Amino acid sequence: MLVSLASLLLSCTKAPTPYSWSLPHNVPIPLVPEDNPMTEEGVALGEALFFDRALSVNQTLSCADCHQPALSFAESQKVSVGANGEALKRNALALVNVAYNASFTWAHNNLESIEKQILIPLFNEHPIEMGVTGNESEILRRFSTIEYKALFKAAYGDERASMNTIVKALASYVRSLVSFNSPFDDYAYAGNDQALTKQQIKGLNLFFSERTECFHCHGGINFTQSSKHSFQAFSVQPFHNTGLYNEDGKGSYPLSDVGLYAITHNKRDMGKFRAPTLRNIELTAPYMHDGSIATLEEVIDFYARGGNYAEMPNPYRSPFIKGFTITEEEKAALVAFLQSLTDQTFTKMHKRPEKK
């Protein structure tokens, strides 16, 4: 386990410890639900659960199998695979800084908390992801070991595991995955003019230019419009149609995944997906909701041509996706800037625990 049994038993006798955020001075503390305050014990329990395959129906899949720490809690395959071996329809999003998300999953406008989002992979039946539905009692029995009883007691005052406390603990751990220690942060916020190379600074200027329009969808401290925190009173529209598909020439996306339209049934939402954070983007290939673009260079080429189907652009395509000219030297500079958003300490800090 992550901590000694003796220390766990000792912690059971005291109230949970308020969580200590490690954030730069310029970064606000994330908003946290009142019914699930951040505690050191809750995060510790959530970490143990996150890496435990006992949470899936057949004990073959953990949260960490699709959200791998070395890849900024993303994955290297195009789409995820559920506990029963069934391919899902989307690429697993990186979990970096999800504490600041205003929306969750690739395309859902009614999930306002990590706690609600976690219910989807746990209980989803079409397709099955973790396969918890109908198997709750058996899965809960797996967490009745001495070690887990101590963890649940320390975090929530009751040694018995419940789906409610499991979800809360997982949310607390995921909420703790913050990353603001990249070369870009050193340059922009710590005042280190040497943190970025000349090439990266050139890429930064391109990124924030009206020519490429990158910053319109990937702005703010988390490089995404889908952000919410104590310094921000409102959320910006986080969903965009990038023109990735145009199946019938009238704007349709593959029936397997029509984006936000599947939730709202509003035709204007056809093909709209959330703009993910670009932090640690170097580590999270492949890209797009379906993992259909392999490299950052190819992503830039995609936006430079204004999406796919240039001869017949998707009518629902975002006005920011209009195409631009870019030289190979400029593209290399833009990639170099995106690489400056990689926080090496984040991946070193968060690793899959060794089995004992």
pLDDT in tens, 152-178: 999 999 999 999 999 999 999 999 999
Note the pLDDT of residue 234: 46
* Whether residue 9 has pLDDT greater than 70: no
pLDDT at 66 over 70: yes
Confidence of residue 102 (pLDDT cuts 50, 70, 90): confident
pLDDT over 70 percentage in the chain: 92
Q: Which of 1-5, 209-213, 243-247, 274-278 has the lowest mean pLDDT?
A: 1-5
pLDDT band at 112 (very low <50, low <70, confident <90, very high): confident
How large is the average pLDDT for residues 274-297? Answer: 97
Is the pLDDT at 229 greater than 80? The verdict is no
pLDDT score of 231 more than 60 = no
- Contact (Cβ atoms closer than 8 angstroms) between residue 120 and residue 103: no
What are the residue boundaries of the structural domains of the chain, listed by start? 5-179
For residue 233, the model assigns a pLDDT of 46
Asked if pLDDT for residue 132 goes beyond 80, the answer is yes
With a cut of 80, say whether residue 92 has pLDDT above it.
yes
The confidence score (pLDDT) of residue 260 equals 97
What is the mean predicted confidence (pLDDT) over 35-45? 98
**In this structure, which topology does domain 5-179 adopt according to CATH?**
Cytochrome Bc1 Complex; Chain D, domain 2 (1.10.760)
pLDDT of residue 1: 47
Q: Does residue 220 carry a pLDDT above 70?
A: yes
Lowest model confidence (mean pLDDT) among 1-5, 74-78, 98-102: 1-5
What is this structure's pTM?
Answer: 0.92
Would you state the pLDDT for residue 25?
85
Average pLDDT for 304-317: 91
pLDDT confidence of 13, banded at 50, 70, 90? Answer: low
